[in-house]
């Protein structure tokens, strides 16, 4: 069974077409890197998998069923929210706040809930970290707690929306290595969106590259090429491999560097 299937699926936000007539199949257990220029639809695609953006055409199936809201088999880590950094809430209480759908900031009680929080903290190696307030930990540490929160309920599919934003290279490597380890240990499917391919090299099975309403899914060697990316960017693209890294260039400038701009009207899940 495939984890995700888009069958001639189109996604729109208002009058704007984000993805048009996309066909793709992602197998259970795959680690997929999701890339593309700003506004290409990375967040919108994840929201569609979550059932929050219904297709305007075609069908989307998730784990063998049509995509619907509130699927407990999906864990979701949204783009970093600015309000988290200032919270005095302890990390463990922050994670507990999503158990059984509780509203953020209202931690749960009970042995079962505490056991589940302990389980996900152990998975991400954050037992000690969870005792500190969110306001007192670094961005990389907060990402570890957000990942733990996404693992509540033992999901079979994990959607990670730009988890590397604002992290330095060391923390980027740590997050990617942790997700790679979790994918193997838990045997789950992972969609990991990023603004740059290089941190994901060596970890992902395939790459899903979006651009100009289109999608290309395949190995890095198949997708990250001048002809394919020129079509997706709508500009002449040169792919330059240097010392184990890959640089996507246009007019002599890298095009995968815009880490801080988000897709309009697509940042938050309500």
Q: DSSP string covering 67-113, please?
A: --TT-TTEEEEPSPPGGGGG--SBHHHHHHTTGGGPPTT----SHHH
Ramachandran angles phi, psi of 184, nearest 5°: -70, -45
DSSP type of residue 26: E
Structure tokens at 57: 């055409």
Structure tokens at 26: 């992602």
pTM of the shown model: 0.89
Structure confidence at residue 111 (pLDDT):
81
- Kindly report the average pLDDT of the chain as a whole number: 88
Structure confidence at residue 184 (pLDDT):
96
Domains of the chain, CATH where assigned: 1-73+156-270 (3.40.50.300), 81-154 (no CATH)
Residue pair 1/64 in contact (Cβ under 8 Å)? The answer is yes
Structure confidence at residue 24 (pLDDT):
97
Judge residue 266's burial from the number of C-beta atoms within 10 Å of its C-beta, 0-12 exposed, 13-18 middle, 19 or more buried: buried
- Name the 3-class secondary structure at 204: coil
Ramachandran angles phi, psi of 163, nearest 5°: -70, -10
Residue pair 150/78 in contact (Cβ under 8 Å)? The answer is no
Q: Which residues contact 101 (CB under 8 A, 6 or more apart)?
A: none
Other CB atoms within 10 A of residue 86 CB: 10
Structure confidence at residue 19 (pLDDT):
97
Torsion sign, CA atoms 266, 268, 269, 270: negative
Q: Which residues contact 175 (CB under 8 A, 6 or more apart)?
A: 140, 143, 144, 147, 163, 164, 167
Structure tokens at 254: 């890298």
Could you tell me the strand order of the sheet in which 2-13 lies? 16-27, 2-13, 57-62, 65-66
Residue with tokens 């500009």: 235
Residues of the chain with pLDDT under 50: 102-106, 258-270
Q: Residues 71-84: pLDDT tens digits?
A: 999 999 998 665 66
Structure confidence at residue 109 (pLDDT):
54
Q: Residues 80-139: pLDDT tens digits?
A: 665 665 567 788 888 887 775 544 444 555 788 889 999 999 999 998 888 888 888 888
């Amino acid at each position: 069974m495939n984890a995700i299937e888009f069958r001639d699926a189109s996604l729109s936000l208002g009058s704007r077409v984000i993805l048009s007539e996309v066909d793709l199949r992602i197998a259970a257990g795959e680690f997929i890197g999701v890339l593309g220029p700003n506004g290409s639809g990375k967040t919108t695609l994840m929201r569609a998998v979550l059932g929050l953006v219904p297709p305007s055409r075609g069908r989307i199936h998730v784990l063998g069923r049509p995509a619907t809201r509130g699927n407990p088999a999906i864990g979701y880590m949204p783009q970093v929210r600015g309000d988290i950094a200032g919270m005095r809430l302890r990390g463990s209480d922050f994670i507990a706040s999503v158990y059984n759908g509780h509203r953020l900031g209202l931690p749960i009680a009970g042995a079962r809930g505490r056991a589940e929080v302990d389980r996900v903290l152990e998975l991400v190696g954050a037992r000690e970290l969870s005792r500190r307030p969110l306001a007192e930990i670094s961005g990389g540490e907060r990402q570890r707690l957000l990942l733990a929160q996404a693992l509540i309920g033992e999901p079979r599919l994990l959607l990670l929306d730009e988890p590397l934003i604002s992290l330095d290279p060391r923390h980027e490597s740590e997050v990617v290595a942790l997700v790679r380890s979790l994918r193997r240990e838990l045997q789950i499917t992972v969609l990991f969106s990023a603004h740059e391919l290089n941190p994901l090299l060596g970890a992902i099975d395939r790459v899903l590259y979006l651009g100009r309403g289109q999608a290309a899914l395949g190995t890095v060697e198949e997708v990250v090429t001048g002809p394919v990316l020129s079509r997706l960017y709508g500009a002449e693209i040169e792919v330059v491999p240097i010392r184990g890294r890959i640089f996507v260039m246009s007019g002599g400038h890298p095009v995968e560097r815009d880490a801080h701009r988000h897709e309009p009207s697509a940042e938050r899940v309500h």
